[in-house]
Amino acid sequence: MITEIKQLAQELQETLIANRRHLHANPELSFQEFNTSAFVKTKLDEMEIPWKAIANTGVVGIIRGEKESDRVTALRADMDALPIVESNTDSYASRNPGVMHACGHDAHTSSLLGTAKILQSIKSKFGGTIKLIFQPGEEKLPGGASLLIKEGVLHNPSPQYVIGQHVSPLVSSGKVAIRKGKFMASMDEISLRVIGKGGHGAQPHLNIDPVMITAQLLVAFQQIVSRKANPSLPSVLSFGKIIANGAFNVIPDEVYLEGTFRTMDENWRTEAHAQMIKMATAIAEGMGGCCEFNIVRGYPFLINEEKLTGQIQSAAEEYLGKENVIETDIWMAAEDFAYYSHQADSCFYLLGIANEKKGITSSLHTPTFNIDENALAIGSGLMAYLAVKQLGNV
């Protein structure tokens, strides 16, 4: 079956590229994927694959193998883009100003459409059911995965396994990277308003300086990671936005901050939140000010079930060759695929899309991000093989 799937994937190469370029040129932000959703529905109709809408712009297709089996496997791709101005000048560059597929979701969607075409073509040769999950809103809380789960995407029928892939510019095209166990971090959005009393910069004794309070907070917060967390437990606390809207000689009344906290343990996650709030309140009040602290709890950590991931790794080695399947480290980015991993045995792996000779090396979430489009056929064929393998047909 490997040979047949590889041949079908290669025959789809031009279609895969065309679909990906169409999606890349017409990106839509999270939960606004109306045209993308319509495109997916049209393609599924052309393949005679039944589908249903879910969570507004989500789409779930069903392929039923013609052999006898009650096993179910779900395959997932996300569809949303990012609020980034693309700087690439390709003919298929974004036509929607300020919106870009800078995280590869166009490739994920195109690849899963290719997988669907392959599986539909060979459905007489396997048994079981395959759910095709085209998911909205991965890039924005509360995450499309959580909404789809609430609306029953993991029921009627319920998959034993959920499999997903994410393109990676850190992995060469032609390869995949896999990790068993905890793989990606939880993610929380932190915002603070440090309130003092502004005034003339030449008279600091008459003011309560929120800039100085903020400076103390930023240094102290790092003790959450360096002195409060178990050193064996990955934790990241970063602040990327600070607004102190004063002037050369003006101390502002307040400072606003935004940051993110990431880890891989739910108990420590909750404890760290409490520690940050306690620390911020004490420091601000001790310096004469006050602090409004808000935490929006985001995605949980993502865990690849050990047994399933071992099977996926072995199957990937069969399909790609052992030299093209590498083990990867923990990735402190967050993914709402994590919600599936806490509901069913799941595996989320990285599909290599980097090609130095072609100059394709830009990081995710950057204006120059691109992919080696040869990876699309690899991703489509591999996922098709993994699906039938998990259904117990090969």
* Residue 80 annotated in active site: yes
pLDDT score at 393: 72
Among 104, 106, 163, residue whose Cα is nearest residue 132: 163
pLDDT score at 371: 98
Q: Which CATH class is domain 188-297?
A: alpha beta
Q: Which of 28, 78, 138, 209 is catalytic?
A: 138
Q: Sign (positive/negative) of CA torsion 152, 157, 163, 165?
A: negative
* Residue 45 annotated in active site: no
Domain ranges in the chain are: 2-183+301-390, 188-297
Give the tokens for residue 251. Answer: 């101390």
Low-confidence ranges of the chain (pLDDT < 50): none
pLDDT score at 142: 96
DSSP string computed for 36-105: HHHHHHHHHHHTT--EEEETTTEEEEEEE-SEEEEEEEEEEEE--BBS------STTS-SSTT-B--SSH
2-183+301-390, CATH topology level: Aminopeptidase (3.40.630)
Q: Which of 28, 33, 78, 80 is catalytic?
A: 80
Rounded-to-10 torsion of CA 168, 173, 178, 184: 0
- Whole-model pTM: value is 0.94
CB neighbours of 295 closer than 8 A, spacing ≥ 6?
188, 189, 190, 261, 273, 276, 277
